[in-house]
Amino acid sequence: MSSKRTTMSSVDRSWLRMDTAENPMMISAVLVFENPIPLTRLQRTLEERFLRFRRFRQRVVDTGDRVYWEDDPLFDLDNHLHTIALPGSADKAELQALTSDFNSTALDFRRPLWQIHYIDNYEGGCALLIRIHHCIADGISLVRVLLSLTDRTPEPKLNRISQPKAVKNTEKGVASRFLNRLTDSTHAAWEQANLFIDSIRKEPDYPLKLVSTAGGIIMDLAKLGLAPFEPETSLKGPLQGRKQVAWAEPLALDAVKQCARLLGGTVNDVLLCAATGALSRHFTERDQPIPDCGIRVAVPFNLRPLGQPIETLGNQFGLVLVCLPIEVRDPIMCFRQVQENMNRLKRSYQAQVTYSLLDLFGRGPDILERRALDMLSRKASAVLTNVPGPRHAVYLAGSKLVQPMFWVPQSGSIGIGMSIFSYAGTVQFGMTVDKGIQANPDAVMAYFRESFEALHQAALAHAPDVAYRRAS
């Protein structure tokens, strides 16, 4: 194989093959900046920091039985960086409409699968609309990549990063790489054997624990397969392929943390409860019956080691199905139920099971993946992501980032995506909805804030009771 061509992993191939006209597999972001960014400085930043990741210079080559990453011989940054000016005194609605249009359009598979649109004339500053195909990397990786373009101060030091030298494709080089792989595999197998023996010495019941773990994985696989389909609600329906994007004004992270402390839970529990309340309010406002068993959302669960270098792209996450108790009206009771559901999932192997299924589907025929995807997508009403960002403000090419939003794609017949992203003391909440789904994303944004405020007030009122019980 040419040194300019590498085989795509089976998991990344799964995400590539999920691409449909109704649900393009793109991770998208809108980054709003305080001041206009000089275009030449932005180009230089991309050349020195973004394009050092080889994957962004490579296109996808599908030969039918295998899929490869191949260096694009005609790569040109101008094919991926475009400038747009919004009309007049453009506001948030104009930017949301533009984002909706682009998120409804597939990327060009003849070139590397990413695009950045520089949007001038937005609220005295500018914005970047970024679209990257999911087969390149998962959301956690791409957020880290985009943040690697930024600095803590307006004046960065941009140093030219040399490109890696091409490896000659000689017979000696091929043989050497084969021997290296063989040596690495043998070494890894020996390490695993030693680890297993050492574990038995330290813990005589280790084999029983191993069997118990395997049993837990099998049980979670069975639960995933036997889980009932989602109830027929306005959140499910035939998709049109046209997206509607909206985002809310940010919440104060300190208020969210205070709410979590008062209730003895996590920030994630609080935000999931707020999302539950927002969807419950959606049904109430539309005078629609609320399912007695709640609804489920697919939540990505990171499986990537925290210390793994940022250069390692690809997809390393599983999906867990989280039940949102939208039928529970009391904010505190709803929070307790969400907390219990999340704690149960943390003890399960559902994320590892779904990752293994993606790996398996990526190795098999398309028809197998399509049927499995259809089955799994019928067991969730939405995709919900919660990604932590930097705690401090960052600057890109000298301009301060004031509001970032990220969305992951939906798959199969799922038409709703909700995203939660923390940044510089704030929590950003956004939503994308297929036009075939009877839900107003702007209204749900308002419900999210109202739901959080109701939970926060209930937590503050609940605090004296908790303090009294602890004292007694």
Asked whether 409 and 26 are in contact (CB, 8 A), the reply is yes
Burial class (CB in 10 A: 0-12, 13-18, 19+), 348: middle
Q: Give strand ranges (E) for 34-111.
A: 58-62, 67-71, 81-85
pLDDT tens for each residue of the chain, 472 residues long: 455 789 988 878 888 888 888 888 888 999 999 999 999 999 999 999 999 999 999 999 988 778 999 999 999 999 999 999 887 677 888 999 999 999 999 999 999 999 999 998 888 899 999 999 988 988 878 888 888 899 999 876 555 444 444 434 444 444 444 444 444 444 444 444 444 445 444 555 534 443 444 444 444 444 444 455 667 888 888 999 999 999 988 999 999 999 999 999 999 999 999 999 999 999 999 988 888 888 888 877 665 665 666 666 776 666 678 889 999 999 999 999 999 988 877 665 444 545 455 555 455 555 555 555 555 667 788 888 888 889 999 999 999 999 999 888 887 788 999 999 999 999 999 999 999 998 999 999 999 999 999 999 999 997 765 543 444 4
The pLDDT, as a whole number, for residue 344 is 78
Q: CB atoms < 10 A from the CB of 137, how many?
A: 25
Q: Rounded to an integer, what distance in angstroms lies between the CA atom of residue 426 and that of residue 250?
A: 6
Same fold, 5-147 and 232-391+410-471: yes
Q: Rounded to an integer, what distance in angstroms lies between the CA atom of residue 342 and that of residue 376?
A: 19
Phi, psi for residue 446 in degrees, rounded to 5 = -65, -40
Q: Rounded to an integer, what distance in angstroms lies between the CA atom of residue 252 and that of residue 388?
A: 14
Helix, strand or coil, per DSSP, at residue 427? strand
The pLDDT, as a whole number, for residue 160 is 45
Helix, strand or coil, per DSSP, at residue 395? strand
Q: pLDDT digit string (tens) for 42-68?
A: 999 999 999 999 999 999 998 877 899
Interior/surface letters 259-278, b for 16+ CB within 10 angstroms, e for the rest: bbebbebebbbbbbbbbbbb
Q: Rounded to an integer, what distance in angstroms lies between the CA atom of residue 90 and that of residue 86?
A: 6
Asked whether 318 and 11 are in contact (CB, 8 A), the reply is no
CATH of segment(s) 5-147: 3.30.559.10
Cα dist from 218 to 188, 201, 354, 363, whole Å: 25, 27, 12, 21
Q: Domain spans of the chain? A: 5-147, 171-220, 232-391+410-471
Say what the pTM is. Answer: 0.78
What is the fold of 232-391+410-471? Chloramphenicol Acetyltransferase (3.30.559)
Exposure on the CB side of residue 387, measured as CA atoms within 13 A: 25
Q: pLDDT digit string (tens) for 82-91?
A: 999 887 677 8
Reading phi first (left if > 0) and then psi (alpha if -120 to 50, else beta), residue 124 is in: left
Q: CB atoms < 10 A from the CB of 20, how many?
A: 18
The pLDDT, as a whole number, for residue 17 is 82
